[in-house]
Every structure is written in C-alpha cells, then in structure tokens.
Structure 1
C-alpha cells in the first residue's frame, strides 16, 4: 500500500511580498510519470555535453516535465555577487540582455540568499526585480537554488503564463532536477573552462613557436609540431640565424601542461635565442638559460638540446640538458649520437651541459625531437629510439626525415603528449644558384649568406667571399631601389661558374627609376671594386646586371 504524499510546508513572507517560501520536500513515493521525468533529467549522457548544450537540453526537459511555459538558469558570479542569466527557454531575452540580479534582491536573488525554494502565485503583486518577467506576462513562478557540495552555483526557475499553483510534485520534480543538474552544470562549466584553456594554450604555444624557418642555401631545415590531444605541454623548437653564416638549432620540453607550461616554454625559447645571438656556444648558452630558470618563482624544470652548425666547415657543436640524444641520418645510415648530457634545466643550481663537436658530413641530417615522439608506456627507451632510426633510415633531406618520423610514430588520433621535431641538413650546394626574391631590403642578408655559402664550395676564402657577397648584395639593392615603385615585386639572382669565373646575374622586370632615398652611387663603386667585369643592360622590360669574378682561395 502506497504512503500518502508528504505535504509541502508553506511559510508566508511579510505582507506585500506576494511570495511563499517552500521547504525542500520530496515525495516518499513518486508516481510513474514523475519517475520517468526524473530519469530523463538525470540522464548520464547530459554530463558529456558542453555547458551551452547541457543547459539547453536540460531546460527543454525541465519545461516538458513540468508543463511550464518558461524555464531559466542564472549562474552565480562570485566576484560581483550577482546572478547572471545563462540559459533560458521562453525567456531568451534574459540571456540576450545579460540580466544580472544582485544576491538578496528580487525573486531569484532571494532564492540565492536564503537557499530556499520560492513560489510566486501572482507575479503582478510580487516583489520582482527583473522587468522581463512582467513583460513576458508570466503569472506564476517557482524557483530553487542550485547547490553543489554546500556551495551555491546559481538558481533555476520555471514560470507559467496562466495562474498556477505549483504543488508538492512540481516542487519535488524541480528540486530533484536542480539536485541532479547542479553537479552537471559544474562539470560542464569546468569542461568548458578547460576546453577554453586548452584552446588558449594551443594558440599561445603556436604563437610562441617560429612562424617560419630560415632559408639558407646548403642548409635546409624542417620542423613539425603537434599538441597533445587533451592538454598542451611545453614542447618547443627553434632555428636561429647566427653571425658568420652559422645556424643554431634548439629543442626543449618544459615539465607540465596547460597555459603555465606554454608560457614558460615561450620564456625559455626567448632566453635561449637571446643568449645564442650574443655569441655564446651551446654549453654556455644552456648554462645561462639554466641560471635564468633558477630565478623563476615557479621553479620549473625543463630539458633542452642546442647545437650550432657552421656550413663553411661542416662542424657541429652540441650540448644537451637532460634531453634525448639527437639522431643523425645520411649516406652511411642512421645513428643516435652518444652524448654526455647535463642535468635538466632548473634541476640543480649551476648545472653544466658538456659540449662536444662533430662533423656533419655532406648530405647528413641531424634530427632533434621531444620525448612525446618516441616514448610509449611499457616500451624500453632503447627500442623506441631504434624504431625512430629505422623509420628515418631512407631520409634524404631534413623535410623527409621529419615527415617519416611523424608518419611512422604519430597516429591519426594524436598522442597524449606534445611532439616536436626539428632537423637540419648539411646539403650539397648546387652548381648553379637560382633564387627568386621579393623586392624587399629584408632579403639582402639572405643574399649575402647564400653567396658566401655557394662560394665556399669552390674554396673561396672568407675575405674574398665577403667582398663578393657584398657586391652582389649591392646589385640586388639597386634592383629593389631603382626598378620598382613601392609595392609587391620580385627580382632574380643567378650564380654559376664559367671558365673558373663566378658569374652573377641580377635581373629585374621594372623600369629604371631614380633612387627613392639619396645617392646610390656608392653601391656601384662597391660592385666595380669587387668584380673583374660588370655589364649593365637596360631594356623596356627590365634591367640585367652581369658581374664576373675570378675564383680563388684568397
């Protein structure tokens, strides 16, 4: 025999409020249709939705279950001590207008302040703060607090466009809906916050990684990066142009995940780049970065590897701080470098990273990577490194080495950890150099590096190659300065050897114009002084300057 329904306890408020406080009360035995509605409201699948979808679906189910015209949820802004309209059905204007209700004021504010259910039989004669409720001609309201582990997170209320006396079953249903909904809302809100943080961390990390890699003749570089599936880490890489045509190549991994790790990654990358460009070698650079890490209040820990490559000699200087050893692949096959690593950055005060030097033979590629690429639960590290070496065995370029490693070790669904790879090759310089360049003064440094690198293949000494590179750069500057009006344009540089002469041709497709800034005659004097022969040809379709210089070791 079923027990009688537990009555709702009513406590009238002071005269003129038009409100009744309802004590939390759940029927001892609910009817079948109520049980069915409760199951719909407590559906576990709801908690898997993002916050917006969760609230939308929840309010649809609440409105259907109670047979009401409106349903709304206001969430607590703790700092402002206000309730903020977050989702609504039949009261969408609340959300669109960003309605805020102070705690303790009006219908919803009273519910939040006293943490009790409140029923309003006639809105027209009640203390209502939100004018939208009257504008929508709502006659009766019922609201309950949303509480998670003793903490108020918001208010849920429903309304009817016709006078209605909400009974014990209505209250029980709304209370149970609130009890089930509150944790779901908190989970969904946390999920949304984590999702937002993940997106921000990914954007931050990608913004802190190089937007492009240096284009150096004879030293092609390549890189790959993939953030973790769920939480961004602190993996990073960099390729740094250094004085005298050298290149720095670096990789690192900050311990931890999320925005903090991404921000620290940016600081470490910037610090390493700055110290490297001051002229320090790999060991000293990592030592200075470690000193920088020691001063950080977060007391982070990170691993890093940094190498400097000299294309003229093929020499590579390398130091690591707790990082995995780089791999080398080339005509003689793949191998993992035997390195003596220093301690991770931030692990011990005044840590040292031993430096070693090797020769990167013509055609060889050095590949640096983070542990996310190879480490798998339950697999020995040595086997993981061997697998990587086998995958890149046939790589003939830096780009191919990165792609083979990525394709072979990163599944389509991604990994639980970040992955970063950066590779550099000591590539043979082509016999003939052909560069298509933007008519922008920024390319002139690249021109000088390319010419010096190309001349080094023919045994030209540093002093002579510097003179020639400067002269070619001046010819290119003339093309940029005289050939085009401001705006996008391009020119071409070719270099080849004819009868032991280095022959350089700079060709543009503009019309010769006076210099935009001052007198450029100095550039022509530099060209004449550095070259054995100079010929200038101007036509309606453009200008060509051909320069010759006898090759030699001097």
Structure 2
C-alpha cells in the first residue's frame, strides 16, 4: 500500500514480490492505530497509514512522495533528524522522542521507533520503517510529579510503539513465509495441504476450500485442528455444493470480497444450505463462534473460496474470525495463485501424457502398416543374391515412409526399388503403401525406369498429399550383365566390385516425385558377376552429428572392409554406421549381388530381415 486510497488494489489479481513495500503493507496498515511510515532510500515518504494521518493531519495525497524530514519534522529538529537517518541506516535502528510537525504547523512530541528494512536475504534495502505515537501534552510544570508523569507516559508510548512494530514485523514475516511455501509447489494436493498448514489454527479451527466452476462450489479440501474428529471432516466434505445463494462463500465468490459471520446462529446457518445437517455441523466446527469466507482471486478471476470456522490462535490469544482479516486476504491471494498454477501444470502434464500416448498409438499403427507393406519374403531371383534390412528409428521418433522391393519382371530381368516418402507418421506410411502398390503394377509392364518414374510422379500428384517422394527404380538384366536405373532425388547408388572396391555412382538425378514434372535421366552401368549394388535411404547415412556426404563416405569405407555372406555384410554395415545414440530415422538397406551364371541356383524366396532387425539404440 502507498496510501489509503489504494487499499483494494490487491484484488485485481496483481501479485508483487515479498520485497515490494507497497504490497507488504497493503493489508497490514489498518491494523496499527499508531502512525506507520516508510521512508524510501531517497528520503521520500512511500507509505503513510491512517494512523499517521490522524496524528499529524497530513492526508496521504499531500505527503506521499514528499521529503519526509522537511514535511513532517519540526524545523528546529530537522538537521538532527537527517543525522538520525544516517545513523539508522548504519546501525539498523533507533528509538526515542522526536518533535513532529502537523499540517497546520503545530508541533507534537512523539515516541518514535525506527528500523532499517532488509530483503529476505538480509540485504539492506535503504528503506526505513517508522512507527510513532503522540505523547500526552504537558502543562509546562517543572514539578517532580509532572516530570515523572511525562517520563511514564513516554515509556508507555514507546512500549506501545515497540509492541505494534513487532506485531507488524510478525505479520510481514508470516506473509513472506506463506508466499515462499506456496510458491514452491506445483501439485494441487500438496498446495491445498500447505494452505491448511498455514491457516490452521492461526485463523480458525477448521479450514474449508471450495473451487468455483462458474455455477457451484466444489469442496476439495477440509482441515481440522483437532485430529480426532474424522467423522466431522468427512461430513463437512459432503456439504460442498449444497450452499445456497445467501451463503457467505457464494457471496464472497460473486462480490470478490470477504464475508464475515460473527456468530453461527443455527437458524441462519440452516437457511444457507440445502442439507438439513448443515446447522449442526457448522456450529460444531465453529464451536459456536463465527466464520469468515475469503475469495480466492488470481489473474482478476475468482477461482474459489477459503473458509475458516471458529476462533483462531495467534500472538498468544484467540482471534475472532475477522480480527486478522487483512493478513488472511494476503494468504488467500497467494494461495489462489498457487492453486491455479498447480492446476494449469497438472492439466499440461495430463495433456502431454495423452499426446505421448496418442503418438505411441499412431507410431504403432504406422509401423504395423509399414511392415505389412514391405515384402516379408522378398523374391530371390536366380541371377541375383539379395539381402535386406529395415527397422524404424529411435523409440521417440515417428515412423517414416521408407520402403524397398524386389520384383521379377521377365526371364533374367529383375526390378530393384527403394524409396522414401518425406514426412512421418501414419500419413507417410499410408502414402508409401500407395506408391509401392503403383510401382509393382507398373513394373509388370516391363517399362524402362525413366517411364516408371514419370508414371509414379503422376500418381503422387494425383494423391494430392502435398508430400514429396524420393525413389530409385533399377532394372537388372542378367543376360547383358547391366543395371539400368533412374533416380528421383534419392541417395546415390553404390557399386562394390568383385575385389571389394566400393564407389558411388554420381550420375545425374531428377527431382523428387511430386515436386514438378519428373524428368529423371536414365543410366546404365555394367554389373559383372560378384559385383554388388547397394540401395539405401538417408536414415542410414544422415544423423544430427553427421551430414549426408560424410555418411556416404563412411558407408563406402564400411563396404570396402566388409566380407562374407551378403547377410553378414548387411549386419556389418548397420553396426559400422550406427551413431553412438542410435539411429534417429528409419533405415532401409537393399544389397543385390550378381551371381556367376554358371553357378546360379534356381529362384527362391528368402526371409526378410524386417521382423528380426535390431532395434535402434
């Protein structure tokens, strides 16, 4: 608070830090009948309570922001007062009598106690808290009796000022403590328990917390200072939602202001509830005393009500329901913010869990679809030895649209296909299945690779999925010992000759399917016996810590080192290129090695490595 005119400013949902003097004094200043003043580091008045206004007759609007000494201290004492200010900031405090000046120019001798303020970490803020009260006027007699009376009055005034200052400091410390505890929890249940710890038994014997859904109050918490009244706690829970419109809790929610009931009159309480048991239960909980309902307000919105039943206990004596209401309002404001933050955090956490579960279900569906579309028993032509590998990326990654196929076209001619639908999830896997089906249909017509890709480009465009697809379609002719292929934006093929020398085929590639009219050039390479052709997708060679070109170079080196069966070569390549954190994208690999015509076996089908492929790790 900076002046009496601003007392209700805390009800708009604004929350200042514990170090903000305005907020700290907002709810406390009306509790102190003595004058309470805060002098800022520049010597100006920043807080001026109604007690100060009553004693010195200075309205807050006239004195706030003015120089404290020149405005409020008698002219004859101003120089000494400035020295006192330096002393207080140096030593931390001072108490004594000071002649203060009223607005009409009259001087009043006041008992004054001053303390330098500090942050919660003990650092001086430069501000000074002053509590003062007016001493009784003296007749001017010099008798010993008059002097003794004056000293006694001075002592009483100083003692009263000291007690009030300690009371203010206790309330400030409690609010800072409450703010710290409530700010540390993001769990709704723990936050409610913390509120109960703070307000019971200081503000009442029983604490009720109801949350407002716009139509009714839902009881979410009950706390009793007496641990042996479980039956009462259980019954009080059932009263939630039965309050009528004239119930103090409902009025507090609708008006945004606390509502106090001084005495629990059974007839009056019975009219507040639909439940006939309410009068007896409330009277028992409040011990015949009253109760107070304080709205829980945050971000300018009422989210519920905090109700305290029965007398509280603080400062060594019982408190009536509204006796420490300003402090309770501050606690309620901070409790509302903490409850709302906890509810938002809990909602976001549930949403994240649901989203993760939805993504896992979609991933499983896409993976099932993708694997069902890959050939479980790829054709093993007599003229080629074929080995394949496919597995999805890391568990947290969505399934992509990688695929491969081996298609018999005619005697001695086999189509080898690999492709990748850009994108992830069920949509990419579905589009991959449609494109793969189209490839198989066109391959049966024994068309050149270039024409196959042109037809596939039309298919992708007609699907209207706004996605692009890379693909290599190759046709192996065992009679000529050649591989004719065309690429629509896919990874370059690799060749490993009979001596184990590996190289990439850096031939021109067309644009991916679905980008523009496909015009992929066609290339022919010789593939003599024991020569291996390598088809792969970008997931094998590209990683967050490795670019595509570096990955292809590593693949070439791995193929040059590999030996043994084609299945063994697949495993060696996968292991050599596996990043330390595992593959983060789908991996598809197809190896095809030309057999020696003199030793070629009849065509067979071999099991795919799809189902048994090692998981990404």
TM-score (norm 2): 0.47
Distance 2:444 2:211 in 1: 56
Deviation at 1:232, TM superposition (A): 2.3
**Which residue of 2 is the match for residue 64 of structure 1?**
193
Deviation of 1:397 after TM superposition, in Å, equals 3.6
Distance between the aligned counterparts of 1:145 and 1:269, measured in 2?
60
CA distance 1:341–1:59, change in 2 (3 Å): same
Secondary structure class of the residue paired with 2:402: strand
Deviations 1:85-130 (A, max 9, x none): 9xx999xxxxxxxxxx9xxxxx9xx9xx9998999999995689xx
Q: Is the 8 A contact 1:202 1:232 kept in 2?
A: yes
Sort the Cα spacing of 1:419 and 1:26 in 2 relative to 1 into closer, same or farther, 3 A. same
Moved more, 358-367 or 157-166: 157-166
Aligned pair 1:339/2:483, yes or no? no
- Please say if residues 229 and 415 of structure 1, whose CA atoms lie closer than 8 Å, have aligned partners that are also in contact: no
CA spacing shift, 1:39–1:254, aligned 2, 3 Å? same
Q: CA deviation at 1:358?
A: 3.4
- For residues 346-379 of structure 1, give each alpha carbon's deviation from its aligned partner in whole angstroms, at most 9, with x where no partner exists: 121x312223333433333322222232235686
Match of 2:470 in 1: 303
**Equivalent residue, structure 2, for 1:373:** 540
Select between 312-321 and 61-70 the one with higher mean Cα deviation: 61-70
Asked if the contact 1:373/1:409 (under 8 Å) is kept, the reply is: yes
d(CA) in 2 for partners of 1:8, 1:358? 86
Instruction: Pick closer, same or farther for the CA change 1:63–1:367 going to 2, 3 Å.
Output: farther
What CA distance in whole angstroms lies between the structure 2 residues aligned with 1:373 and 1:290?
A: 25
Query: Which residue does the alignment assign to 1:214?
Result: 378
The answer to whether 1:172 aligns with 2:336 is no
Q: Does 1:36 align with 2:180?
A: yes
Question: In the alignment, what sits opposite 2:357?
Answer: 196
**Map of 1:242-321 to 2, 5 A cutoff?**
242-244=408-410, 247-310=414-477, 315-321=482-488
Summarize deviations over 1:170-190 as a string: whole Å, max 9, x none.
532342224534653465355
The 1:358–1:175 alpha-carbon spacing in structure 2 relative to 1, beyond 3 Å, is same
- Shift, 1:277, TM fit: 4.0
Corresponding position of 2:593: 425
Which has the higher mean CA deviation after the structures are superposed, 24-33 or 334-343? 24-33
The residue that corresponds to 1:205 in the other structure is 366
**C-alpha distance 356-200 of structure 1, shift in aligned 2 (>3 A):** farther
Corresponding residue for residue 564 of structure 2: 396
Displacement of 1:390? 0.6
CA distance in 2, matches of 1:432, 1:207: 35
Structure 1 residues 355 and 146, CA gap change in structure 2 (3 angstroms): farther
Quote the offset at 1:248 in angstroms: 3.3
Q: 1:347 to 1:124 in 2, by over 3 A?
A: farther
For residues 29-58 of structure 1, the C-alpha deviation after alignment (integer angstroms, 9 at most, x for no partner) is 47243233233225xxxxxxxxxxxxxxx2
When the two chains are superposed, the root-mean-square deviation of aligned CA atoms in Å is 5.4
Structure 2 gaps of 5+ residues are 17-22, 25-173, 198-206, 223-240, 242-246, 262-268, 276-280, 287-291, 312-320, 607-617
Distance of aligned partners of 1:158 and 1:357 in 2 relative to their CA distance in 1, 3 Å threshold: farther
Q: Pairwise mapping of residues 528-543 of structure 1 onto structure 2 (< 5 A)?
A: none
Alignment of 1:338-357 (within 5 A): 338-348=506-516, 350-357=517-524
1:386: which partner in 2? 553
Distance 1:235 1:156, change over 3 A: farther
Q: 2:403 aligned to 219, 225, 237, which one?
A: 237
Cα pair distance change 1:432/1:305, threshold 3 Å: closer
Structure 2: distance between partners of 1:41 and 1:141: 24
Distance 1:7 1:406, change over 3 A: farther
Maintained 8 Å contact 1:397/1:425: no
TM-score using structure 1 length: 0.52
Q: Report deviation, 1:208.
A: 3.0
DSSP 3-state at the match of 1:389: helix
Q: Distance in 2 between matches of 1:70 and 1:404?
A: 68
Summarize the alignment of residues 16-27 of structure 1 with structure 2, pairs less than 5 Å apart.
Answer: 24=13, 26=15
Cα deviation, 1:273-303, whole Å, max 9, x if unaligned, reads 3333454443222211111222243422221
Assess if the C-alpha contact under 8 Å between 1:198 and 1:231 holds in 2.
no
Q: C-alpha separation between the residues in 1 aligned to 2:599 and 2:537?
A: 36
Q: Is contact 1:73–1:157 with CA below 8 Å preserved after alignment?
A: yes
Identify the residue that residue 165 of structure 2 maps to in structure 1. Answer: none
Inter-CA distance 259–160: structure 2 relative to 1 (3 Å threshold): farther
Residue 289 of structure 2 corresponds to none
- 1:327 CA drift (Å): 1.6
Unaligned runs of 5+ in 1: 11-21, 43-57, 91-100, 102-106, 129-133, 434-447, 454-554
